[in-house]
Chain A
């Protein structure tokens, strides 16, 4: 008795599929189900079906809409800066060639640091009074007072400040992926363009970037998804404050669930957030990435 290949393949996949079904799909199902109930935060408390009420509450709440825009702004800031810096570093390493190899390795180190540690570290650098950045800028004569910029206390700039650890942590990832892509560009193509008189900017925008497009797309999609879920770094730096100015979607859902004790509303928010992420990710994948498609 011999089972078919197709069935054998199915057997191999079953344990992992079951695991994901039980520990991802089922909690998601619970999340969606909870979003239609008004739930008391006390264990064993009442649970009343309220239809779409939680969704209406979510969309009507300023906190929710604000968190949505902030999450979008945060993601754009993180991904854009990270891409610009990562590309710059990747080009630098490529133009320096193999003699820069040791530094390429050293440049990887932030990738291994826990986001919570990175958030803590940058909070320590930016915090009012004993933060080093303000002091150094003051000593360099750029600021008249070390506390002139309230990195983490000024609601107007805090969303940018809390993004810094995230950028610092994962610029290395961007650099690494783009560097790998750059190694795949045939050298003679660059030579030929140079012989034709192409200068550096033309070389970059007309040849290098178009050839890197698939790699750039993957890097942006992967990092975009991660940045939109950012939690640890923001929680430890500001806990969403001041005045909710750095409260992104993950934080709002967490606080609605734990601090304000409204699991129903938090579940509705989580469901909308998840749907929005899926929609954006599928759109991005469908238009720019196309995984598994052979050239």
Chain B
């Protein structure tokens, strides 16, 4: 790669960031539009200016946030109650006595830790599979704009509408006929049927934002088309790949129906275990809330950390429309 390509690439990396952000206004949620004048003195657009109005709006927001945040907080509080206290009538919001008993019960139950490992395994395999398939496909669709590419992206959109319950059973019998029944591989393939169309869609939008002269410069410098994709374009869209990976991971991590249909004991993921708590062991609400908390908190934290990227991915399809 000559220095010219390198310069172009650096420029494009900078531009790529800018274009991908201007294409996705929400990825920069801090600066809505244009330059903002001094807040509270000059309002712009829809922002409220008057102090009294703003006070009312803040009160509204506070109420909304409390109502919206409360259910999960209640789950957390409940998970720290004693098992008896969780089903006390009438219920209390805060635990009378804070204890980790529910956590010990939930995590100590056989199969729970194994299900965590299965969930992680399945989600990772599914994410990798989605990316390996979606990245070249999306690149082929956006760069060469062939008729087959247009047909393909429409077909991928249609697969998004297929209800999992319709293909779950045939898929499960296919997997058992090739000896993959009840394995994380089989489940991650099923999860990829959900995340692949989404990944192709997301990656297409990211490739769209990469300037074309970048690969042209690389091919002039003697790169093959595949080499240009691998060494020049992929590094530029690495942010987009990260977003796509997060979405694929979350889709698999939180999925329940395929997991229910396709796993028995060996490869069961945690959502299935959580759901089984209520039948197998009666109504063990304490352990259930503890396990639900343990399962949800890592992904909530991950999201808060990667908030800007996730916002970008979620609004992408919609705003570009």
Instruction: Specify which of A15, A95, A117 is in contact with B133 (CB 8 Å cutoff).
Output: A15
Bound Cα distance A94, B45 (Å): 9
Given contacts A98-B32, A107-B68, contact A135 B58 (CB under 8 A): no
List which B290-312 residues lie within 8 A (CB) of chain A: 292, 295-296, 299-300, 302-304, 307, 310-311
A186 within 8 A of B: yes
B281 within 8 A of A: no
Residues in B neighbouring A214, C-beta threshold 8 A: 321
Is A183 a contact partner of B25 (Cβ separation < 8 A)?
Answer: yes
A157 within 8 A of B: no
B57 within 8 A of A: yes
Is A215 a contact partner of B163 (Cβ separation < 8 A)?
Answer: no
Residues in B neighbouring A131, C-beta threshold 8 A: 91
Per-position contact with B for A105-130: 1 when CB-CB < 8 Å, else 0?
11111111111110011101100011
Is A6 a contact partner of B91 (Cβ separation < 8 A)?
Answer: no
Is A180 a contact partner of B300 (Cβ separation < 8 A)?
Answer: no
List which B178-214 residues lie within 8 A (CB) of chain A: 189-190, 192-193, 196-197, 200
Number of B residues near A (Cβ < 8 Å) is 107
Is A235 a contact partner of B275 (Cβ separation < 8 A)?
Answer: yes
Is B93 a contact partner of A289 (Cβ separation < 8 A)?
Answer: no
Instruction: Specify which of A112, A120, A146 is in contact with B303 (CB 8 Å cutoff).
Output: A112
Helix, strand, loop or mixed for chain A's interface? Answer: helix
Most buried by B among A23, A125, A130: A23
Is A176 a contact partner of B163 (Cβ separation < 8 A)?
Answer: no
Residues in B neighbouring A290, C-beta threshold 8 A: 321
B289 within 8 A of A: yes
In the complex, what's the smallest C-beta–C-beta distance from B299 to chain A, in angstroms? 5
Is A117 a contact partner of B274 (Cβ separation < 8 A)?
Answer: yes
Residues in A neighbouring B100, C-beta threshold 8 A: none
Bound Cα distance A257, B26 (Å): 43
Is A180 a contact partner of B318 (Cβ separation < 8 A)?
Answer: yes
Given contacts A9-B149, A23-B189, A96-B54, contact A270 B163 (CB under 8 A): yes
Nearest neighbor of A179 in chain B, beta-carbon distance = B26
Most buried by B among A98, A116, A179: A116
Residues in A neighbouring B14, C-beta threshold 8 A: none
Given contacts A116-B271, A117-B295, contact A20 B146 (CB under 8 A): no
Is B161 a contact partner of A20 (Cβ separation < 8 A)?
Answer: no
Is B78 a contact partner of A92 (Cβ separation < 8 A)?
Answer: no
Is B65 a contact partner of A185 (Cβ separation < 8 A)?
Answer: no
Residues in B neighbouring A51, C-beta threshold 8 A: none
Instruction: Specify which of B68, B86, B193, B253 is in contact with A24 (CB 8 Å cutoff).
Output: B193
Query: Nearest 7 A-B pairs (CB), nearest first?
Result: A187-B45, A12-B140, A180-B26, A9-B144, A114-B254, A16-B137, A27-B170
